[in-house]
Chain A
């Protein structure tokens, strides 16, 4: 499809394990965001990629969290040594930036992570 694709849609893991979450943005979108949505909470910004610029990592909650974006397209969010408080829905969004930027984010359906 032409939308933002995230995988896996659901992930159950044991405390202490590492997990990788993948995001495939809309083709041609240069900006990519990761957010975390916990029960009863708003969207918590994690990290922002824009083209070849250094990512804005200011929202990553700890050094157990990291993300990369290869070739300006697919992004992977990695959580090491998962903790129960990491349980949440992780959302990826992409957008056009620059002259065509409308401020509209296109979201994937999210990856629900459950840490037992």
Chain B
């Protein structure tokens, strides 16, 4: 079945460090791919998305490129901030069904 596998955490980085959170997927069709973020004490919210191969989603300095050949959608940010501390979830959508990864906790220290 369709599924998402993402890098396990927790991840701790110093401010201004480079971030990569790996995400790979398995899908029978042509899914859309998403990154959702959950800040402390808040609900999940959409960070970025890509709907077809080679699309790049970007928001708040984060980027992810839909790579069909490697079935990946890795999240990257060139310089993290303390305010980026959160749990990040990779997800795919096929039809009306979403599949979420287990989440990666990121802590950025000053």
Contacts and interface: CB of A to CB of B under 8 A. Distances in A.
Interface in B69-106: 89, 93, 96-103
Interface string A32-57: 01010000111101001010000010
Nearest to B102: A42
Contact of A107 (B43, B49, B96): B43
Query: Which range contains the number of B residues in contact with the other chain?
Result: 20 to 34
A48 B96 contact: yes
Interface in A1-56: 3-4, 31, 33, 35, 40-43, 45, 48, 50, 56
Interface of A: 3-4, 31, 33, 35, 40-43, 45, 48, 50, 56, 91, 93, 97, 102-110
25 contacts: A3-B43, A4-B43, A35-B100, A42-B4, A43-B98, A43-B100, A45-B98, A45-B99, A48-B96, A48-B97, A50-B96, A91-B43, A91-B44, A102-B49, A103-B34, A103-B49, A103-B51, A104-B46, A104-B49, A105-B44, A105-B46, A107-B43, A107-B44, A107-B45, A109-B41
Interface of B: 4, 32, 34, 36, 41-46, 49, 51, 89, 93, 96-103
